[in-house]
Amino acid sequence: MRARIRKLRAELAARELEAYVAIQNARYLSGTSAVTATIISEQEPILICKRLEFDRARRESAFRDIRAYFPYEVPLRRGERVKFCELWQVLADCLRELGARRIGFDGMSSEFLRKLRGAYEADYQELPELVVNMRKIKSKQEIAWLRRSAALAMEGMQRAAELIEEGRSELEVAAEVEYIMRKQGSGGTPFSTIVASGRNSWLPHATATRKRFRRGELIIVDLGATYEGYASDMTKTFSIGPTRRQLKLMNAAKRAQSAAIDRIRDGVSAADVDRAARKVVCRAGLEKFFSHGTGHGLGLAIHEPPNLVPGSSDLLQRGMVVTVEPGVYAPGVGGARWEDIVLVTKDGHELLTQ
C-alpha cells in the first residue's frame, strides 16, 4: 500500500498536481472496501468513509487519517466524530484544508463534480489512468492472492466436472460449485456463476436457469471466486454426446485459446494476443461466431485493463494477470469457450488455472 501511495505521489509531482481524489480506486489505495474516497497528497493520506464503515476502515486500512460522514443527523456514540453531510462536502472540506489548487481525480459524474466545484473552486483534472496504469502490474502480494483465488476457481470447476450429467439442472451445478468454493475460503463470487446448456450456451452472458441438461448439448461453465478481494475467472465447456459440428466449435475455441496463450510474454502487444486467437477461429471459418474480446486483466475488479482486444495499445508486461477466453457461439448448434488466468512473466507466462 505504501508503494502505491509513493508511486502516485511521484505521478502527481510530475504533473504538478497537489492532490488526487480516488473514488473508483479508493479500495486499491487504502486496502479496505469500507472506503468511499481517498485523498492522496504530499501530506498524510486521507480515507473518507461512511459513518457505519468507520470501525472497519480503521481495522483494515493502514491510513491513519480517517474521516467519517453521514448524509443525515443521528445520535452518535461517545467519542465518535462524524460530519453530517454529503460526500462532495467532505471532499471540499479536506481539499480546502490541504490548500490544493490543482487536483486530479479518477472519475465522478458531471453532477457530482459540479457540486464539488461549487463548494471548493479549483482546477480539477480527470486522470483515471494514473491509478489504472499502476493497477495493471500486480505486486507479489497481489499475485499470491490471485493465485489463491484461481485455486478456488479450479476446485469449483472440478466439482462442476463431477456433476455434468443428463437430467441435472444448471442451477444445481451453479449452487454446488459456489458452495464448495465458499467452503474452501472464497469471499464470494465476483459475478453470477454461468452454467449455460443447450440453447443457453450460445448466449455468452447467460447465467444459470432451472433448465436440465440433455444429450446433444454443449454446457459452458464460467465461474470465479474471490480471495482478499481478488477475483478469479475460469471457463470450461462440457458436452453430453456432442455432434460433429459441436465438436468443431469446442475444438476451435480450445485451439484459439492455446494459440493466444502461446503468444503471451513480456513486451507482446495485447492486440497481438487477440489476433492469434482470431486467426485460429477464422481458419476454422467461425469468425462470425466469435463475438467478444480474447481476454481481460483481473484483480480487485473482475474486468480491468489491459484488455486483449483488437486495436488495444497495451503492451503486456511482467506482473500483469489476464484471462484468455476466446469463444464461439453458433445459434442452433451451441457455444464453446475456454478461459484460463495467465500471469505474464519475464520469459513467457504462467497459467494460474489449468
Whole-number minimum distance, CB 282 to Mn ion, in Å? 21
- Of 224 and 334, the one with the shorter C-beta distance to Mn ion is 224
Element holding 337 (H helix, E strand):
strand 334-337
Q: Least separation, in Å, of the C-beta of 339 and Mn ion?
A: 5
Q: Total residues contacting Mn ion (rule CB under 5 A)?
A: 2
One symbol per residue from 239 to 258: x for binding Mn ion (CB under 5 A), - otherwise; what is it?
Answer: --------------------
DSSP character string of 245-293: HHHHHHHHHHHHHHHHHHH-STT-BHHHHHHHHHHHHHHTT-GGG--S-
* C-alpha dihedral (190, 315, 147, 349), degrees to nearest 10: 140
Displacement of CA 139 from its chain's centroid (Å)? 16
Contact between 323 and Mn ion (CB under 5 A)?
Answer: yes
> Phi/psi of residue 169, each to 5°?
-95, 160
- Name the residue type at position 79: G
Beta strand pairing status for 102-105 and 123-126? parallel
Q: Does 307 contact Mn ion by CB under 5 A?
A: no
Q: Is 36 in the site for Mn ion (CB under 5 A)?
A: no
Q: Which residue, 94 or 220, has its beta carbon nearer to Mn ion?
A: 220
Sign of CA dihedral 143, 294, 347, 158: positive
Distance of closest approach, residue 220 Cβ to Mn ion, in angstroms: 12
Query: Three-state SS for 60?
Result: helix
- By beta carbon distance, the residue nearest Mn ion is 233
- Helix locations, the chain, DSSP H: 2-14, 26-30, 54-60, 87-98, 110-119, 129-136, 140-163, 170-183, 244-263, 270-283
Interacting span for Mn ion (CB under 5 A) from 15-23, 95-103, 233-241, 274-282: 233-241
Interacting stretch for Mn ion, rule CB under 5 A, among 49-57, 60-68, 76-84, 322-330? Answer: 322-330
The least CB distance from residue 323 to Mn ion, in Å, is: 5
**Among the candidate windows 17-25, 226-234, 259-267, 285-293, which touches Mn ion by CB under 5 A?**
226-234
Stretch of 4-12, 132-140, 225-233, 345-353 lying at the interface with Mn ion (CB under 5 A): 225-233
304 interacts with Mn ion by CB under 5 A = no
Alpha-carbon distances of 121 from 22, 114, 167, 182, rounded to whole Å: 18, 10, 64, 47
CB of 190 to Mn ion, least distance (A): 10
Q: Under the criterion CB under 5 A, does residue 232 sit at the interface with Mn ion?
A: no
In order of 296, 320, 344, 351, the CA distances from 348 in angstroms are 17, 12, 6, 10
C-alpha cell at 242: 456432442
Min dist CB 295 to Mn ion, Å, is 7
Span interacting with Mn ion, options 70-78, 115-123, 151-159, 228-236, rule CB under 5 A: 228-236
Strands 46-50 and 234-240: what pairing? unpaired
Q: Nearest distance from residue 59's CB to Mn ion, in Å?
A: 32
CB of residue 292 vs Mn ion: minimum separation in angstroms?
9
Of 95-103, 198-206, 227-235, 326-334: span binding Mn ion (CB under 5 A): 227-235
233 binds Mn ion (CB under 5 A): yes
312 makes contact with Mn ion (CB under 5 A): no
Cis ω before 326 (30° cut-off from 0)? no
Q: Which residues of this protein are in contact with Mn ion, per CB under 5 A?
A: 233, 323
